[in-house]
Amino acid sequence: MNRIKEYFQFEENNTSMSTEITAGVTTFLAMSYIIFVNPSILELSGMPNQAVFLATIFASAISTLAIGIIANVPYALGPGMGLNAFFTYTVVFSLGFTWQEALSMVFICGIINVLITITNIRRMLIIAIPNVLQNAISAGIGVFIGYLGIKNLGLLQFTSDASNILSVNGGDPTMESFPGGVTNVVSTGGILPELVNFTNPSVLVGIAGLFITIVLIIKKARGAMLIGIIITTILSILFGLTDLSAINFAENSLVNAFEDLAVTFGVIFTAEGLPSLFSDASRLPVVIMTIFAFSLADVFDTVGTFIGTGRQSGIFTDEDMKALEKGSGFNSKMDKALFGDSIGTIIGAIFGTSNTTTFVESAAGIGAGGRTGMTSVATAASFILAMFLAPVISIVPPVATAPALIIVGIMMLSSLNDINWKDFSTAAPAFFASIFMGLAYSISNGIAAGFIVYGLVSFATGKARDVHPILWVSMGLFILNYIVIAIL
């Protein structure tokens, strides 16, 4: 036990084993939805549901364990939401690639992530981001997480007139029937959010859980967020919102799941994978553009999460950032974290899932007191246990974890204090990198907007020379990415 404490530096980080384990479980519960949602999205591409279920667990557990041990930071990784939708709806449905070929693109994206990490490109990118954008990104992560929690709590409902619907299931919205049901609807900005009328018992339970958790936080109760999640789950059961009779350990046996995993595991190295992807030279430009789109979103989601949660919480101190800037090799905590994250996508592609990235929900565990890699170890262990306890874990409703996300969002908004909002040349890029991030519901798109506006403002005010060259390159890549997406 003492060796574990020494390795993870509990005393230096003012933490304890119980706090780290509680934080790890909190992070897991906040992101556990991915082991159920990811298979439901990827199976639409033709992948076996139970295979993706296990691939999601193994990819998350192994990559989370790796980042915890290598970098000693409390982050968790898993298949990224948005990237899995891009995998299914764009790469497979729209572009016509097979899921085996799409997995091969994800694998190549992972290789690229490793290369740009060991060549210190990602390190230089972080160093190049000015303080105003770093503070804005931190606050933006808070807005994003808070908005995610509000949505999960069920406080909002969205209305869209038929004239504003662009597509249903990626196809013509005027179709009279949709075999298999509606799985995806794309609407214009005409969609309107509004508060629900508070007649839904689930919303009322979620609000009760939110206020209970707020009181626990104010009272500085140990494990406040985890206690809040447990209490809200119990309330959900007591009010009949969770059906315990639906728990069925025999419905999806592990034996059958492992048989399905054999279909996806290592398929990228078969004839249907990488060889098939490059068998048609005429598709090569589209393949390259698609891999580029995968990589850009993956890289900036991770960078944004590290900057946003790490600087605000003290996971990455000023000393760590100085070591990142002046050091060489993989000596700083941030260097090691970037490397740990970079291998996640490779692991995921081999098992059979879309891009694995650092989850913004890690902030829930950090908010619960997680400060070292032991938090990640606890989260990884929770993922492995999830193989056997998936039916039980599935009874934790989104409204139970929503309060933790909202509270973390509140905590992270303090970064807005460090931005000079009276100077419009500073306020404009800060707005797009923070508030717009939540409105766009995308970390990478929020960063892109902030970068682009920052560059335009700097050019207009004659300060273009003060902008780091890597930032100009990043702006160009983002613009190119949007052109690629438009073409695809």
* Highest averaged pLDDT of the listed ranges 246-255, 389-398, 448-457: 448-457
Per residue in 62-107, pLDDT (tens digit) is: 999 999 999 999 999 999 877 888 898 888 987 889 999 999 999 9
Distance from chain centroid for Cα 31: 9
Residues 442, 360: contact at Cβ < 8 Å? no
Residues 74, 23: contact at Cβ < 8 Å? yes
pLDDT given at position 78: 95
pLDDT given at position 321: 72
At position 266, the amino acid (one-letter code) is: G
Per-residue pLDDT band for 370 (boundaries 50, 70, 90) equals very high
For residue 317, give Cα distances in angstroms to 309, 314, 367, 434: 11, 5, 16, 21
Distance CA 315, CA 334 (A): 9
Work out the number of other CB atoms within 10 angstroms of the CB of residue 331. 12
Per-residue pLDDT band for 329 (boundaries 50, 70, 90) equals low
Per-residue pLDDT band for 248 (boundaries 50, 70, 90) equals low
Work out the number of other CB atoms within 10 angstroms of the CB of residue 470. 15
Beta bridge partners of 357: 78
Per-residue pLDDT band for 54 (boundaries 50, 70, 90) equals very high
Quick one: residue 154, left, alpha or beta (phi over 0 = left, psi -120 to 50 = alpha)?
A: left
Of residues 317 and 232, more confidence is placed in 232
CB-based contacts of 419-427 (< 8 A; 24+ apart in sequence)? 419/132, 419/135, 419/136, 419/139, 420/132, 425/457, 425/461, 426/132
For residue 406, give Cα distances in angstroms to 207, 384, 436, 442: 11, 27, 17, 17
Q: Which percentage of the chain shows pLDDT scores above 70? A: 95
Q: 10-14, 65-69, 144-148: which has the minimum mean pLDDT?
A: 144-148
Per-residue pLDDT band for 194 (boundaries 50, 70, 90) equals confident
Per-residue pLDDT band for 371 (boundaries 50, 70, 90) equals very high
pLDDT given at position 417: 87
Per-residue pLDDT band for 247 (boundaries 50, 70, 90) equals low
- Pairing status of strand 77-79 against strand 356-358: antiparallel
pLDDT at 322 over 80: no
pLDDT given at position 214: 93
Q: Which percentage of the chain shows pLDDT scores above 90? A: 38
Residues 20, 372: contact at Cβ < 8 Å? yes
Contacts of residue 366, defined as CB under 8 A and 6 or more positions apart, other chains included, come to 23, 74, 309, 313, 315, 375, 408
Work out the number of other CB atoms within 10 angstroms of the CB of residue 182. 9
Per-residue pLDDT band for 51 (boundaries 50, 70, 90) equals very high
Summary mean pLDDT of the chain: 87
Of residues 356 and 141, more confidence is placed in 356
pLDDT at 249 over 60: no
Query: Taking residues 199-224, what's their average pLDDT?
Result: 89
SS3 167: strand
Per-domain residue ranges for the chain?
2-176+200-487
Of 18, 409, 17, 378, nearest in space to 217 by CA: 409
Residues 187, 165: contact at Cβ < 8 Å? yes
Residues 131, 433: contact at Cβ < 8 Å? no
Per residue in 33-47, pLDDT (tens digit) is: 888 888 888 988 999
Query: Taking residues 399-408, what's their average pLDDT?
Result: 85
Q: In this structure, what token pair is assigned to residue 182? A: 């509606």
Per residue in 444-473, pLDDT (tens digit) is: 788 889 999 999 999 999 999 999 898 998
Beta bridge partners of 356: 79
Distance CA 196, CA 206 (A): 13
Beta bridge partners of 366: none
pLDDT given at position 46: 93
pLDDT given at position 308: 78
Contacts of residue 225, defined as CB under 8 A and 6 or more positions apart, other chains included, come to 26, 213, 216, 217, 364, 367, 368, 403, 404, 407
Distance CA 195, CA 178 (A): 29
pLDDT given at position 222: 74
pTM of the complete model? 0.77
Query: Taking residues 356-368, what's their average pLDDT?
Result: 89
Q: In this structure, what token pair is assigned to residue 430? A: 């800060």
The label of the residue with tokens 């996806």 reads 264
Q: 220-224, 284-288, 367-371: which has the minimum mean pLDDT?
A: 220-224
Per-residue pLDDT band for 312 (boundaries 50, 70, 90) equals low
Work out the end-to-end distance of the chain between its first and last CA atoms, rounded to an integer number of angstroms: 53
Of residues 349 and 309, more confidence is placed in 349
Work out the number of other CB atoms within 10 angstroms of the CB of residue 175. 10
Phi/psi for 235 (5° steps) reads -60, -40
Per-residue pLDDT band for 20 (boundaries 50, 70, 90) equals very high
pLDDT at 429 over 70: yes
pLDDT given at position 453: 96
Query: Taking residues 112-137, what's their average pLDDT?
Result: 85
Q: In this structure, what token pair is assigned to residue 284? A: 């090569």
pLDDT given at position 311: 67
Residues 405, 146: contact at Cβ < 8 Å? yes
Per-residue pLDDT band for 488 (boundaries 50, 70, 90) equals low
